[in-house]
Chain A
């Protein structure tokens, strides 16, 4: 359970998040929508405790994380699996070592076991052939998928956080990622997907949160989203009219 209670956050003098309050259960499939630079990534960073709010509380499973130290936060972070917007693979390590990173860090697996596990994870995301590649040799979509595989190796998360997993990908790859996201949450695990592609959000999520100028302007299901009369949302979903899929 993630609860934001009147959270404010600013970079320098620029306020990015204003008095934001919401709560998300760990089995919910939530999409956070909003334009570029509205603070979507910032919200994910706040959940992970990577940045601290100026005021307000962020409560995760009943614990306020805003006052926790880096050491104490480790436990909280283990509950989530975050995939960054850019993928953020370690560029000095090849794909295999990237995926194996947490296995080496936290388990005492032998080389064989690691190899098998990494193969398995890469197969799940469909890039097994790229095992020996360096990150700079990967395409955007592969990068994203390896990054998902790496975070799967990290822990058994309670919830997945994806930062724009499909942006900049061709429709086929985007579709694959959506399938992967649904696949991973099959056993009732929730996720938060941050995106500005409504099509993808509608495919995977069941609850939608819309941000505008750092404030929550919409929170509801797909039905409500499609019939919302908020102008910004209408602009967002007009994309669907062109595609002719308004009646999904």
Chain B
């Protein structure tokens, strides 16, 4: 590999960041019932870098995802793409959502080809490119089925293919693998890293899965449980090109243990919180 020297440490560290999240703050509601979902979160992502944001359920990850994607307007702080503050969804960004988001009235191939249809790509090229990404997410042979005939994990893979098909420069994904079993998750992770490396795609992955984050990322942003702040940013110095085999290495285990220590603290705070809320609820 010609880029071996830079590839071993992930993205070249001297580069100007492509995506900057600067003191982003978001509160839902007002007064005593207000929930601070994202509390002055700052980090940046360099071109071609793969960054994961990890944190316990309810810590504000999806809120942050929606802000970066330009879907939520009312927040404090700045999100910059190529040094410009975003105003609404940015054309360089492709998003994969946490919830099921296939179009139930389109079959698999028409779902995946949808963004190309919007771009006015002609039909034969559209179908060619859609086929390529359907194959990549392991759904070859299912092209003509409607989403209702697929499993939850298969539908999620359709949405991933639909976002990848337009080859966005910046890829935002909110727990895209949550509905998948561990094996499919690892293999699909390989495919995603491969495309990401081939296209030098800047990727921000939201997840609550620790092994997935370490397997895929150059850096991991660990968030605290409410209010969602950045607890720590960990560089993952595992060699690239990387495959799912990396999960059996010592270095991998070391990173997982290190981040788990941070995460456990936050997750147990989250659990205690919801338990006391439940007790409070049943008493009142």
A, B co-complexed:
no
Q: What residues make up the interface of A, taking CB atoms closer than 8 Å to B?
A: none
